[in-house]
Amino acid sequence: MQLAILCLGLMAHAAEGPYAYTGAIELDLRQTPFSRFGSYLSISDLSRYPEPLRRQGLFLRTLHGGGANAFELQLVHNGSTVPFHTTATPTRLKLASDAGYVEICFQGPRRLRVRGKRVGLRLSAREDAWAVPYPASRWEVNTSEMKYTLWPLAGLLDKDVKRGEGGHSNLTMTFGAALSSDIFEAEIDAYTSVWQSHKAKGTFDEAEEVEREEYNAWLKKMPDVDATFGHGAEVAAYVNWESVVEPSGNLKRPTMLMSKNWMSSVWSWDQTFNSMAMTLKDPELGWDQFMLPIDVQDKNGAFPDKWDADTMAWEFSKPPVHGWALAWMLRHHRFEDRTHLQQVYEPLVKWTNWYFDYRDSNRNGLPEYRHGNESGWDNSTAMRNDGPFETPDLSAYLVLQMETLSMVAERLGKPADAREWKARSEHLLQAMLARFWRNDRFVAFRANDGSEIDSNSLLLSMPIILGHRLPANVRNQMLKSLASRSAYRTQFGLASEPPLSSYYTPDGYWRGPIWAPSTMIISEGLDDAGEHEFARSLREEFCRMAQENGMAENFNALTGEALRDPAYTWTSSV
């Protein structure tokens, strides 16, 4: 009876039509940073960060240098720190105590506006920070990754340095009211080179109003969702907005990081899900996300594993889902023009050929992952012990990527190329089926000796992405396995390792939790195979779980509990 009432309630909400975004959400800074589109600054409560990053307190951080704490934020009353609690909306952060309060908002990507009443704001800098005085009571604080000009617009700014052991210094800067007042206002500017002199622009309230207008403009670019999922859509919209940084260094375009918590980089397959999400209503930003790995592609065709503004890692690759993603965008009538297709054709040609040239050690025509991290499923049981690993998911992605290249070549007036890519795609599909389909399931092998790997990882079900291209007997057996409650299926979706497996671990990364990308890939494959109800149920289960527990990196398959980084954009994007 309760279930029936719930279903009727959800249907009633669904009848209301698309949800109208309001921006009226309250943020938990232990999960989601206070930041804004384009900014490398964020303010976070680090009490739930993993070791060794965990700290008790509220910190102003920079996303440069892989993410670093610049200042701990403390409230001060009568010369002593006082406890406070935080409340935050997308555009305003409030630190409130019994003695008084401080409010903070952004004024563009590189500036914070601050005001306080009856208390001061102390910024306790990291140990290696140092300060230089400027005119008009301003100070510049250098924290290595960034420089900050602290400017009292109304009130005072006091500097204090205590020398510690080993030559370290503890620098604190405190904004506070002048003797004849109980209020102060201040500005904090962040930059990498030199401070650009300017006049203070407007009031705190005017600054926040501009931020609110920008955020409301962002909400107008969000996809339509059913009213049932309105709250989750609000959270997802904010996570994607605050996770964008402006171009800098290795990041040639506005970039949606995976997170402004600790997963503060770009990974070359993670980014495709962000590009797909933004394609629907903000195609320019969506295209930027798709092009990010192409911007830094090496001469041999490889994309880096991960990168940020300041660093780049090439130890691993990531799976080639880009052709599949591009085909999805084209089906949604985006980027069909010649200009966009020309930008991606040759880079995707090089990326595809890289797998056959440099990731096929036994030269059998079936590319391999050299390490679990190259699959994106880092510790999957399908890639235990030593590689290289031949797995069916990689071949499936390349089948689709070559099919997409055939379609793009045709549109660009390259019929010979189109025929070649079509033939290569069909040949790899047949080779994949002959190699990996064994006794009603897909399996994986070690490339060095051809031995089969004992694994029931959901990774081995990723070839469902091929949908109608799979033979009927293969599709039917895969559907039976995916739908089985004794295998992967839980009330929240598909576990990355079956809960009955001896390898299953509730917080085992790719050995148990539910993930956004696997859910989307499988759902899209099910749709392509004509299994629309199954696909819809998986989507709804995932969205309900995320709406209840937040946009986490992954989720406990049996409880729906949020795991790992709690504000992760491939989850909010999916």
Q: How confident is the model at residue 6 (pLDDT cuts 50, 70, 90)?
A: very low
User: Is there a contact between 368 and 386 (Cβ–Cβ < 8 Å)?
Assistant: no
* Mean predicted confidence (pLDDT) in 309-316: 96
* Mean predicted confidence (pLDDT) in 182-194: 97
CA dist., res. 325 & res. 319, Å (int): 12
| pLDDT for residue 166 | 63
Backbone angles phi, psi at 410, to 5 degrees: -60, -45
Q: Which amino acid is at 118?
A: R
User: Is there a contact between 155 and 121 (Cβ–Cβ < 8 Å)?
Assistant: no
Does the structure show a pLDDT above 90 at 8? no
- Comparing CA positions, the residue from 58, 57, 59, 63 lying closest to residue 41 is 63
pTM: 0.94
- Comparing CA positions, the residue from 464, 510, 469, 505 lying closest to residue 483 is 464
- First-residue to last-residue Cα distance in the chain: 32
pLDDT digits (tens, 9 = 90+) for 476-524: 999 999 999 889 999 999 999 999 999 999 999 999 999 999 999 999 9
Cis before 247 (ω within 30): no
pLDDT digits (tens, 9 = 90+) for 562-574: 999 999 999 999 9
pLDDT digits (tens, 9 = 90+) for 96-134: 999 999 999 999 999 999 999 999 999 999 888 999 999
Q: What is the CA radius of gyration of the chain?
A: 26
Strands (E), 3-49: 41-45
Does the structure show a pLDDT above 80 at 164? no
Q: Helices 270-279 and 322-331 sit at what angle, rounded to 10 degrees?
A: 10
